[in-house]
Amino acid sequence: MSREKSRDGITRRDFLRRAAASAALGVGAASGLAARVGRASAAEAEERAGTASGAEVEEKNGMKYRVLGRTELKVSELGLGLIQTNNPAVIHRALDLGVNYFDTAECYQGGNSEIKLGEALKERREEAIVATKWHTNGSTPAADLLKSLDGSLQRLKMDHVELIQIHGAENAAQVESDELWEAFGKARDAGKVRFNGLSTHGNQVEVIRAAIECGRYDAVLPSYNALIGERVGPAVREAHEAGLGTIIMKALQPAHEGKGTAAFEKLGGSPYQQAIRWVLNDPNVSTAIVDMPTFEEVEEDVAAATGRTSETELAEFEGAVSQVSAGACHLCGSCTGQCPRNVRVADIMRYSLYHDGYGDGARAAELYRALPVAASAAACRDCSQCRVVCPWGVAVRSRMERAHVRLA
């Protein structure tokens, strides 16, 4: 079942009937691609359960909870990302099903994401662990960061959040910012935040390792899934072993990339559920946040988190992912800096994922139009020869031209 269908009018009854018919998956040892990224075997995972910070430590009504690194917060294995969610009732449904981790940011929906989350949690704040974000270029004054946090708290109508994160850290300068550390210290001392983290879209491995080495962070939020596991998985494991909470985004990317292909059509059940289960099969993961703006998606994704998957089904899913790997964007950032015209190829590829995969054309267009004109894909239209070489075989120029047509 495609995510688009669930948003375009499938009834809740129809959805639940389909989900019940296809949702039988359980946790076994990882195989294939999973084994290559250094996951624990089933026996090792069982031995570590209850002691490792990412391992399951508690279960309530089917939802499992893991410890978020050194914070000791018990977070639901599935978290709700709030980029697109507009209906407070959807947030309440997620809470009812055991979801307790909520991820937002000042820029989501122009600040409305924080407002709507705050409204939804007004009577249920004690049930939720809330994370939001602030921006720094590595030298952003502490006063500006604190002002940003105060704006978020005002929109949320909360006196504190559990986690504040750099939004999209790309280099060590941002990670090691003394101004940011000063701002976090003041915010923590004032009781406005409890813990410090970062998200990253570019140079993920380097950013995660910088966060580990500097010792200032409690959690990291990278993209991680079956398509990019071999590259990002070792850094996720290192962060977990260093005591950092590991919050995962873009878990659904393989299902988006494989949508409509023969390899994915042959899979039993929902590829979106299998993509979530692949991530949660890793004991180095604390939680995976997924954007779930509809009741149907909440039900589908919670069923994935509360279900189980077998070793055979994991291997079949990984096999399907491997078949669509060539020509798919791996969000690796290898294209960064290659274009002689300075087109922001990596960013535009990510915006295309938002448009094509997430069905969030408005956000994709907003981000694309915010790029400097010289950095947009407009320059690709009269380029005689694309010099950007993708190690995964992505046809960069045609992707850029298509993105410009759709997003400009």
Buried b (16+ CB within 10 A) or exposed e, 217-231: bbbbbbbbbbbbbee
Nearest to 71, CA basis, from 186, 188, 173, 154 = 188
Give strand pairing partners of 249. Answer: 223
Q: Tell me whether residue 291 is exposed, middle or buried, using C-beta atoms within 10 angstroms of its C-beta: 0 to 12, 13 to 18, 19 or more.
A: buried
Quick count: other Cβ atoms within 10 Å of Cβ 277?
A: 26
Measured over the CA atoms of residue 143, residue 145, residue 147 and residue 150, the dihedral's sign is: negative
Rounded-to-integer distance, Cα 352 and Cα 368, Å: 9
Nearest to 225, CA basis, from 270, 285, 167 = 285
Rounded-to-integer distance, Cα 375 and Cα 217, Å: 32
Is residue 108 flagged as an active site residue?
yes
Catalytic residue among 108, 217, 224, 354: 108
- Would you say how long the chain is, in residues? 408
Rounded-to-integer distance, Cα 39 and Cα 37, Å: 6
Active-site residue list: 108
